[in-house]
Amino acid sequence: MTSLAIAIEEIQPPQRGRKSHTTDPRPLDPLPVIQLHFYSPTCESHFREATYLQPPTSNLWAKAQLFRVPPPSAAPANGQEWTYYVSQGVDRSTGQLVFGLMRTPLPPHGARIEAQYGNHLILASAEESHLLHGERAVQARIKPGGDYIVFAFPNLGVLQTGHYVLCYKVFAHSSPTPAPIATCFGAPFTIFTSAQFPGLLPTTPLTASLASLNIPGVHNRRPRE
């Protein structure tokens, strides 16, 4: 019997959010959701949906990490430069790392590149998960009506304005090592100040279906009349 490999996919990317404060969380909108897939390593283009029978959801959990991306206006005009964020030291008032956007004709030598968005490179050393507010690790759930294994992050917010992407990693409790069994990056989103925030989006069908699972923080917002 052919063994199955595991992959994850961001099926509901966040689009926006208000800047969170440690005493005033502002979750991303819509809430981020990823889905687990099985596929045959010999035919990667054909996914087989994971069911609750394989593997048990109680063994699975996912973690989110945060990386900054530049605004669209900062993209190289000629497409012949590479951009990436690097640490520029520690902010003395907060004790947190400060990252600056670099532009170079070649990718940084020796750096571990985690993902690429156009000509922007995500370096492993540029992780800013300290800016996440809320639950970064969540348990697997079964999506209603489909037997799909999903992971929802309903309470996740960001403490600084800017443009970001999430990296998701799935782990199995039964794994002998802490290495993730699957990883993926999501789509870019924007964090606004409260004054600039364009407003909450209507509840998506996926969020509405997840609300029936009574997951803390998942709400089916009623449209305004």
The type of residue at 24 is: D
Q: Give alpha helix (H) positions in the chain.
A: 205-211
What pLDDT is stored for residue 53 in this prediction? 40
Class of domain 5-66+128-211: mainly beta
What pLDDT is stored for residue 133 in this prediction? 94
What pLDDT is stored for residue 153 in this prediction? 96
* CB 161, CB 193: distance < 8 Å: yes
What pLDDT is stored for residue 224 in this prediction? 41
What pLDDT is stored for residue 52 in this prediction? 39
Closest CA to 14 of 165, 184, 215, 218: 165
Residue 15 to residues 28, 54, 218, Cα–Cα distance (Å)? 7, 31, 16
* CB 28, CB 188: distance < 8 Å: no
Tell me the DSSP string of 62-120: EEEEEEE---GGGS-SSS--EEEEEEEEE-TTT--EEEEEEEESSPPTT--EEEEETTE
- How confident is the chain (225 residues) per 10-residue block, as mean pLDDT? 76 96 90 87 52 58 96 75 91 81 92 94 96 94 82 95 97 79 96 95 92 80 47
What pLDDT is stored for residue 76 in this prediction? 67
What pLDDT is stored for residue 1 in this prediction? 41
* CB 125, CB 151: distance < 8 Å: no
* CB 69, CB 165: distance < 8 Å: yes
Secondary structure of residue 5 in the 3-state scheme: strand
Torsional sign, CA 67, 72, 73, 74: positive
Interatomic CA distance for residues 205 and 197, integer angstroms: 23
Distance separating the N- and C-terminal Cα atoms of the chain = 56
* CB 101, CB 83: distance < 8 Å: yes
